[in-house]
A and B are shown apart, each in its own frame.
Chain A
Amino acid sequence: GESVGLHLPTLSVQEGDNSIINCAYSNSASDYFIWYKQESGKGPQFIIDIRSNMDKRQGQRVTVLLNKTVKHLSLQIAATQPGDSAVYFCAEGLLTGGGNKLTFGTGTQLKVEL
């Protein structure tokens, strides 16, 4: 069945360093993979997505890499800042008849140390 999982539940990085958050998935039928960020006490917030026929996509300070051979997805955050502290979710995206269905992974807590 479908599953989207994360390797590490908690990741601690020093301010200014680069962060890499990993995600493994088992169902390669999805068209998209998406990263969301959830700050404490708030709802998830979209970061970036990548289509399954791509292997890399860059945004502002973030890069998502997709390796379909090993079914692995990663989110790289450059020059990590205290405001990046949050739980990060990878999600599998499936187009349905009326909307986009997201299947979320278990989340990784990113802690930025000053």
Chain B
Amino acid sequence: DTAVSQTPKYLVTQMGNDKSIKCEQNLGHDTMYWYKQDSKKFLKIMFSYNNKELIINETVPNRFSPKSPDKAHLNLHINSLELGDSAVYFCASSQPWGSWTQYFGPGTRLTVL
């Protein structure tokens, strides 16, 4: 069984378009995250939600809007895509306290042309 799943795995789109990435976890965790990994493998947190509430919001352009319809899902919507948005986006989940084990999804490779 897949613990953290993301769709789509690959996303190729034109500049200016709007796109969404979906994430689901079946681990029963309360906390979910979005990370961005650039071409140099640098991994940076974007958002964190705990029980559907936004907890961490790093300095991310407001073109990026996360949405958590329930504890098991955290989607990422991106408006007016730019070339610099090209990256691999990872969703992750964890329990909020005590554990540093975050379970990452397989990633979504976004390419903006």
B66 at the interface (CB under 8 A from A): no
Tell me whether chain A's interface is mostly helix, strand or loop, or mixed.
strand
Interface size class of A (residues with CB under 8 A): 20 to 34
Interface size class of B (residues with CB under 8 A): 20 to 34
A60 at the interface (CB under 8 A from B): no
- Nearest A residue (CB) for B44: A104
Which residues on A sit within 8 Å (CB–CB) of B96?
98-100
CB B13 to nearest CB in A, in angstroms, measures 21
Considering only residues 82-101 of chain B, those with a C-beta below 8 Å from chain A are 90, 92, 94, 96-97, 99-101
Contact between B107 and A42, CB atoms less than 8 A apart: yes
Contact between B107 and A87, CB atoms less than 8 A apart: no
B104 at the interface (CB under 8 A from A): yes
Which of A's residues lie within 8 Å of B, judged by CB?
32, 34, 38, 41-46, 49, 87, 89, 93, 95-104, 106-107
Which of B's residues lie within 8 Å of A, judged by CB?
4, 31, 33, 40-45, 48-51, 53, 55-56, 90, 92, 94, 96-97, 99-107
